[in-house]
Structure 1
Amino acid sequence: MTTNPDTSASSPVADDTRWQFWIDRGGTFTDVVGRRPDGRLVTHKLLSDNPEHYKDAAVAGIRHLLDLRADEPVTPDMVACVKMGTTVATNALLERKGEPTLLVTTRGFRDALRIAYQNRPRLFDRHIVLPELLYQVVVEADER
C-alpha cells in the first residue's frame, strides 16, 4: 500500500550490507518496518490476508521493500534479521474464536484466576457478576 522513507533515521547498523525487518501482524493489517543497509528506515502497510495476491503478508511486505517480484526468493545474504510480533492469537482468545483453551497450573491453584484479586468496586455485594473465563478446562500439575 505505502512505502515511507525516513531519511532522519540514520543510526549505525551492525551489519551494513543487509536489511533488518520488524513486523507487526494484526488481524486486518500487517506493518513492516525495514532498515536499509545505509541505516534509513522505510515502512510498508498491507492487508494481513489477501490470498489473491500473496500467501504470507510478512514475506510480501519484505519483498516489496526489497523491490523483489513475488516469485523471487528472499535470501539470507539480503536480510540480517526479522523480528515479528502479532496480536492474532491474543485477539482470537479474547474474542473466543478458534479452538477451546486449556489452562495448566500448579496443583492447588485451579481456582486462582476464578477467584482473582477481589478488587471490584463494590466488594461486599451479594450478587457478583463474574466475567466469562478464557479457558474451558483446568489441568493441575505437580511441578514443585
Structure 2
Amino acid sequence: MSTAARKNGIRVCIDRGGTFTDCVASIPVPVSEEHPSGRKELVVKLLSVDPSNYPDAPREGIRRILEIATGKPHSRDQLVVTENLESIRMGTTVATNALLERKGQRCALLISKGFKDLLLIGNQSRPKIFDLSITKPDVLYQAVVEVEERVTLVGYTSSPMGIVENIDPNDPTYVKGISGEYVHILQKPDMEKVRKQLQDLYGQGFRSIAVCLLHSYTFVNHEQAV
C-alpha cells in the first residue's frame, strides 16, 4: 500500500485492562450525510484473557476490526495483515494493577546516599489532620540500596536562559542540565561498587529495580550509568 493510501487507513486505539480490552477504530468510508467526515467509528470489546478462544486480546481485537472493515476473513492462525492500517495506539493498566495489588516481581529502590527513607517519609501532607488513627500506605519496594553519588544545583538565577555567573567552562564538574540549570558534580558513582550492590540484589531474587537519584530531572547521567 502506498504512503498516501496508508494515511487514509484504519486507525485503531486499544485500552488493554486487567479484565476487558476495548478497541476503538476509525474506519474510512465515503463521505455522506451520515458520515460527513468520511469516517465511521467501530467499537470492539472482549475479555483480556480468554485462552480458549484467542491467545492475545489486542491482536484479536485488531483482527475482528479488520474483518468488519474489509469484509474479508482474517484467520487467527496467521499474522495480522497491516496494509489497511494507518496507526495502532495502545495503553494498558496492567502494570498499574500489578502495583496496586502488590503482584509481580519484588522491586528494589536505588537512591542517592542519605535519602533511603525519602519515599517512606513522603512530604508529610496530612489530608485528615484530626484523624487519631493514621494508616500510612505501604511503600512499593522491598529493599533500598544507597548509591554513593552527589549532584547539587548551582546557585540561583532568575534568567530564563539559566545563565549562572562565575562558572569555569573548562571545569567538567559543572554541567548544564536539560532544564537549563547548572549542576555541580560533587561525587560520581563508583560503578564497581554499584555493580556489586546490584549483584547482591540479584542474588536475593530481585529482578526489578527503580532508580531515583538527586536532580535527575535535569542531570540524567548518573541514573543512566546505573
Relative contact order higher in (CA < 8 Å, ≥ 6 apart): 1
Residue 18 (structure 2) aligns with: 27
Which residue of the partner structure matches residue 49 of structure 1? 49
Q: What SS does structure 1 have at the residue aligned with 2:28? A: coil
Task: Let me know the Cα RMSD of the aligned residues.
Answer: 2.5
Residue identity opposite 2:65 in structure 1: L
State TM-score, norm by structure 1.
0.77
What corresponds to 1:122 in structure 2? 129
**Partner Cα separation in structure 2 for residue 108 and residue 82 of structure 1:** 44
Give secondary structure in 2 for the equivalent of 1:45. Answer: strand
Report the Cα distance in structure 2 between the residues aligned to 1:88 and 1:66, rounded to whole angstroms: 25
Tell me the equivalent position of 2:198. Answer: none
**1:90-131 superposed Cα distances (whole Å, 9 cap, x missing partner):** 111111112212223344332221111111223896x75422
Is this contact kept in 2: 1:15–1:37, CA < 8 A? no
Match of 2:97 in 1: 91
Structure 2 letter corresponding to 1:49: V
Alpha-carbon distance change, 69 to 103 in structure 1, aligned in 2, over 3 angstroms: same
CA distance in 2, matches of 1:98, 1:37: 41
- 1:50, 1:35 → 2: CA distance? 25
Q: Secondary structure at the match of 1:40?
A: strand
Greater Rg over alpha carbons, structure: 2
Gaps of 5+ in 2: 1-5, 30-38, 68-73, 150-221
Between the aligned residues of both structures, percent identity stands at 43
TM-score by length of 2: 0.51
Residue matched to 1:63: 63
Q: Number of paired residues?
A: 130
Residues 1:113 and 2:124 are matched in the alignment: no
Paired with 1:45 and 1:88, the residues of 2 have a C-alpha distance of 17
The whole-number CA distance in structure 1 between the counterparts of 2:112 and 2:54 is 43
Mind listing any 5+ residue stretches in structure 1 that lack a counterpart? 1-13
Offset at residue 73 of structure 1 (A):
3.0
